[in-house]
């Protein structure tokens, strides 16, 4: 059935009436820009050459200044979509070649919507790396395998062999060259990472006698590269030996080059993430974060996921060569984790999801042609592909729950709403929580809720991710995960809302200052570094705070004069009056979560130790004391505190994963 139109993001195109709508409101667009849009939507994810556009816009016999006309029409189209050539969300420019539509597209049939081939999906935004939850459980694997085992012999089906059985989260895995083994890292609750080797035939497994790092890569000669997080460094381990040698400080990810003599790295530099290919030679810089680094079999390119929001695992797949030439292979996915090159080097396989976190496995060519590999009802993370085509994957069963001890409560209790409840804010009196749901149940835009202690009811008040509650608790800030160029302020009493534009600024986070009329925001304008800025609710765009270092996990003091946040993995405070910064030394991962009313004490949550704790640190004396113990299981994903009310709430992510070898994918 022919398409009567297309949907992408907040937009819809009616090809029969030649009209463009956003959220149901018509957007005026001239004929030529609309024709360009239709041409791109008919081939999402594919290159549409300048010659093709010329033939469509100006048929034979038409004389026109083609270059000027096409550029003008494309600029008008970008303006209508709120897009930019420097940081595209919809239309990517391929210099001297043409354009590519990089946002997911759905075709609209005359009666029933039908999917159109897509490059990749939109990305949600998640506070403290808020992960939407896989709706499946590992029990579904049995159903899946039974169906495939009994599907008949007309088509070979993939075979799954379970390799690990102990509780924990499989963080990484690789085939060991020249053997019938795989090496992997698993982390169990409250324990350091363990790296071990397992037979691909099953049954035989043993741990190595070193710990403290997550496996990043295995060289052709069987040497291991592991990433240590505290401090961030890359260590090299010779197979079957216990000696550990540090080979790179500040490393976040790594992969061996094919000859095994050097590595490609992801390294942190201030607020940026750098791709070094090889180590020491920077070829790409990102204001977000980068993972999944994998060198091509030919050693000429490196692939990776770039995650534009610093606390979100939504990302797009990029490719860069040794000269720094970048190719964007996909648009933004809701959740992206795990990739590997195919045996031939002609494709990159990766695991990602269109919404939520139930990731499937896809393959994309170097020219951006996308195809789906797996079609399983559970979430996958791809780690490696062997020379004979077998794959190592983790099957994940993830849930994020929310617990709270609100004002007047004696203990914390489970107050989860759906299966991905992420806490974002709390009123000063400890009565109302702001939280976000990010699972498949609410779709790609997410949903923002409040929870009132008095009624015990969770009320959905807006689409998007919750960012902050106003000081009086009467309004809330949210952001559209598909468009970070504006904020939305919503009255919790009436439900009325208004947009707060950024004038090209792309927001990472936002907080209210104590006056309730001014925002503190983190983010950047295109091609500029991340920064902390102020913005008035009454109007105007963000204005940078001079000399303020960029920080994440920011908390504003009650008097509005000081900030606390995390930069370079360390907590520090900033005095807005003097510009003076002060580091807060901690031997474990931690983040600020609140200030006391007198602004003399900072509340800090530890992240990763079990049990997690909330400490009260006196900034004058430097002494800290235990304020609350967090008894939840899993990885702490968010904490909010109302100190004077004795109230707090937290979200915790519980992941139950197992390592499998898969044969038969093609």
Condensed to tens digits (0 to 9), the pLDDT of residues 465-520 reads 999 999 999 999 999 887 899 999 999 999 999 999 999 999 999 999 999 999 99
Strands (E), 505-607: 506-512, 518-524, 531-536, 543-544, 552-556, 562-567, 570-575, 581-584, 590-595, 601-606
Mean pLDDT of 251-261: 92
**What are 340's strand-pairing partners?**
349
Poorest-pLDDT segment among 128-142, 283-297, 537-551, 594-608: 128-142
Q: Which CATH number applies to 3-115: 1.10.10.10, 3.40.190.10, 3.40.50.970, 1.20.58.220? A: 1.10.10.10
Confidence class for position 192, pLDDT limits 50, 70, 90: confident
Domains of the chain by residue range: 3-115
658 vs 442, which has greater pLDDT? Answer: 658
Find the radius of gyration of the CA atoms of the chain: 25
Poorest-pLDDT segment among 33-42, 43-52, 410-419, 446-455: 43-52
pLDDT for the residue 137: 44
Confidence class for position 67, pLDDT limits 50, 70, 90: low
Mean pLDDT of 297-315: 93
Residue tagged 């909010």 (tokens): 640
Q: What is the mean pLDDT of the chain?
A: 86
pLDDT for the residue 239: 60
At 433, list the tokens. 């929580």
Q: C-alpha angle 88/90/96, rounded to 5°?
A: 65
pLDDT at 116 over 60: no
At 510, list the tokens. 């936002």
pLDDT for the residue 297: 96
CA 620 to chain centre: 37
pLDDT for the residue 203: 64
CA 232 to chain centre: 20
pLDDT for the residue 135: 35
pLDDT at 147 over 70: no
What SS3 class is residue 77? helix
Taking CA atoms, 204 is separated from 180, 183, 186, 224, 289, in Å, by: 11, 12, 16, 20, 36
Q: What is this structure's pTM? A: 0.73
pLDDT at 149 over 70: no
The contacts of residue 419 (CB under 8 Å, 6+ apart) are: 133, 135, 399, 400, 439, 441
Interatomic CA distance for residues 34 and 28, integer angstroms: 10
Interatomic CA distance for residues 458 and 517, integer angstroms: 27
**pLDDT per residue over 582-595, tens digit each?**
999 887 889 999 99
143 vs 115, which has greater pLDDT? Answer: 143
Mean pLDDT of 537-541: 90
């Amino acid at each position: 059935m022919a398409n009567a139109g297309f949907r992408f993001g907040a937009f819809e195109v009616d090809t029969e009436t030649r009209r463009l709508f956003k959220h149901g409101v018509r957007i005026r667009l001239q004929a030529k820009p609309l024709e360009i849009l239709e041409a791109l939507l008919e081939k999402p994810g594919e290159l549409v050459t300048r010659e093709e556009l010329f033939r469509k816009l100006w048929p034979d016999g038409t004389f026109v200044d083609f270059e000027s006309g096409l550029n003008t029409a494309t600029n008008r189209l970008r303006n209508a979509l709120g897009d930019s050539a420097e940081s595209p969300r919809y239309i990517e420019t391929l210099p001297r070649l043409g354009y590519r539509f990089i946002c997911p597209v759905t075709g609209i049939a005359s009666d029933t919507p039908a999917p159109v081939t897509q490059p990749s999906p939109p990305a949600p935004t998640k506070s403290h790396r808020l992960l939407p939850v896989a709706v499946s459980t590992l029990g579904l694997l049995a159903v899946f395998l039974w169906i495939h085992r009994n599907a008949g012999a007309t088509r070979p089906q993939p075979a799954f062999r379970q390799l690990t059985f102990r509780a924990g989260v499989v963080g990484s895995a690789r085939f060991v060259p020249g053997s019938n083994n795989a090496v992997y890292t698993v982390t169990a609750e409250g324990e350091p990472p363990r790296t071990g080797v397992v037979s691909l035939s099953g049954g035989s497994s043993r741990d190595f006698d070193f710990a403290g790092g997550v496996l990043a890569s295995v060289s052709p000669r069987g040497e291991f590269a592991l990433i240590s997080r505290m401090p961030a460094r890359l260590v090299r381990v010779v197979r079957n030996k216990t000696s550990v040698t540090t080979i790179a400080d500040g490393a976040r990810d790594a992969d061996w080059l094919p000859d095994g003599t050097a590595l490609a790295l992801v390294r942190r530099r201030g607020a940026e993430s750098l791709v070094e290919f090889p180590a020491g030679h920077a070829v790409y810089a990102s204001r977000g974060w980068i993972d999944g680094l994998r060198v091509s079999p030919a050693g000429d390119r490196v692939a990776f996921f770039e995650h534009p929001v610093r606390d979100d695992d939504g990302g797009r797949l990029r490719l860069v060569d040794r000269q720094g030439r970048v190719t964007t292979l996909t648009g933004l996915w809701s959740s992206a984790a795990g990739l590997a090159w195919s045996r031939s080097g002609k494709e990159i396989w990766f695991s990602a999801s269109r919404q939520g976190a139930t990731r499937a496995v896809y393959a994309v060519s170097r020219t951006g042609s996308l195809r789906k590999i797996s079609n399983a009802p559970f979430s996958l993370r791809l780690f490696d592909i062997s020379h004979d085509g077998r794959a190592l994957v983790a099957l994940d069963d993830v849930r994020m729950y929310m617990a709270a001890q609100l004002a007047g409560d004696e203990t914390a209790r489970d107050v989860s709403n759906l299966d991905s409840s992420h806490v974002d804010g709390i009123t000063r009196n400890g009565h109302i929580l702001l939280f976000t749901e990010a699972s498949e149940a609410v779709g790609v835009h997410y949903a923002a809720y409040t929870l009132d202690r008095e009624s015990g009811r969770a009320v959905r008040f807006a689409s998007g991710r919750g960012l902050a509650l106003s000081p009086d608790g009467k309004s809330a800030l949210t952001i559209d995960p598909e468009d970070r160029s504006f904020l939305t302020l919503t009255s919790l009493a009436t439900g009325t809302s208004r947009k707060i534009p950024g004038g090209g600024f792309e927001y990472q986070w936002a907080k209210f200052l104590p006056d309730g009329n001014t925002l503190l925001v983190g983010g950047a304008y295109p091609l500029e570094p991340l920064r902390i800025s102020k913005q008035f609710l009454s109007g105007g765009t963000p204005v940078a705070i001079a000399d303020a270092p960029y920080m994440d996990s920011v908390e504003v003091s009650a008097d509005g004069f000081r900030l606390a946040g995390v930069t370079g993995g360390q907590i520090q405070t900033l005095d807005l009056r003097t510009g003076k910064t002060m580091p807060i030394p901690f031997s474990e991962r931690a983040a600020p979560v609140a200030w006391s009313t007198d602004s003399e004490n900072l509340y800090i949550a530890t992240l990763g130790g079990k049990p997690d704790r909330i400490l009260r640190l006196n900034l004058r004396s430097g002494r800290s004391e235990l304020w609350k113990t967090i008894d939840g299981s899993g990885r702490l994903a968010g904490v909010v505190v109302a100190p004077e009310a004795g109230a707090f709430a937290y979200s915790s992510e519980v992941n139950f994963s197992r390592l499998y070898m898969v044969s038969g994918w093609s």
